[in-house]
Structure 1
Amino acid sequence: MKILMLCLGNICRSPLAEGILRSKLSSDFEVDSAGTISMHEGEKADKRSIKVAANHHVDINEHRSRPITTKDFENFDRIYCMDLHNLQDALSMAKNNEQGAKVSLILDVLNSGKSNEVPDPYWGDLSDFEKVYQMLDEACNVIAKEINFNSKTI
């Protein structure tokens, strides 16, 4: 199974989500991330994302930002978006209903009744990045359990 995490610039939220989920899955699964814009293409993750991830023993130092491509809709089984704008941008790139069905908001897996958007911490401080980490960690726990369960029942 191949999973793509998607946010705006691919330097804050989606690299965190990628690293968190990757740390919860075996190497049999592919986890990557991308952004809906190319403004930060080739850049490392935001230093605050790197720090918060490291505080939780998740290494995202090797991450480099990249924009989402139409090929991603062919290559990935699931595309998890951080907010409604990312979701709309991704759905507008899908060529058909099958590709569109791969796209969802990452926090939708929680069914918590709370906001289903991961706030962009870019303009905030380290505590905002920590809050985002906690949200993504909770969602990635659910995703990892589901994926691991489904891979054992196949």
Structure 2
Amino acid sequence: MDRTKILFVCLGNICRSPSAEAVMNSLIKAKGIEELFEIDSAGITGYHAGEPADQRMQRHALNRDIHLTSISRQVKSPADFEHFDYIIGMDNQNIDDLYQLAPNEQLAKKISKMTDYCTRHQHDSVPDPYYGGAAGFELVLDLLEDACEGLLEHIQSHE
């Protein structure tokens, strides 16, 4: 059976997308289905390539027993578009940038926005918490937990 491959994308791959990766990994592990998935994250830019997730994001995630272990990397086109089944951006700018990076219209159909999968929150995007305070990191995690649950339900109902 092929694994479902998901790539989460934000601007620099140090706050939102590595958190989405960790939240999704935690969710599928809790359900005992991690062998059915390949989860990764990347940034539109390579500013933070090779770096771990933001320390503040890591602290807030650890308070929820979510461990951010990924190392930042930049989106690779066309390789990531060919490899992953879902390419999920955190905000409208990420989505616009992903469409610009997509090698063709067929592969661009893999792009969606994280908040499209939310079932409890009504946000249009996952806001970047980098320049904000603690509440911003907590909001990101709230949105990601909601959206990852919705994404998993979406995948399971369509496969």
Q: Give the TM-score taking structure 2 as reference length.
A: 0.88
2:83 counterpart of 1:94: no
**Which of 11, 15, 19 is residue 16 of structure 1 equivalent to?**
19
Amino acid at match of 1:35: G
RMSD: 1.6
What displacement does 1:147 show?
A: 2.5
Work out the CA distance in 2 between the residues paired with 1:131 and 1:150.
28
Superposed displacement of residue 24, structure 1: 1.2
How far does residue 73 in structure 1 lie from its aligned partner after superposition? 0.2
Q: Which residue among 102, 116, 121 is the counterpart of 2:124?
A: 116
Aligned residues: 150
Structure 1 unmatched runs, 5+ = none
For residues 127 and 68 of structure 1, do their structure 2 counterparts lie closer, same or farther at Cα, with a shift above 3 Å needed?
A: same
Percentage of pairs with the same residue = 39
Unaligned 5+ runs, structure 2: none
Cross-structure match for 1:76: 84
Describe the SS at the equivalent of 2:41: strand
C-alpha separation in 1, matches of 2:102 and 2:120: 27
Q: CA deviation at 1:96?
A: 1.4
Q: TM-score, normalised by structure 1?
A: 0.91
2:71 matched to which residue of 1? 64
C-alpha distance 48-113 of structure 1, shift in aligned 2 (>3 A): closer
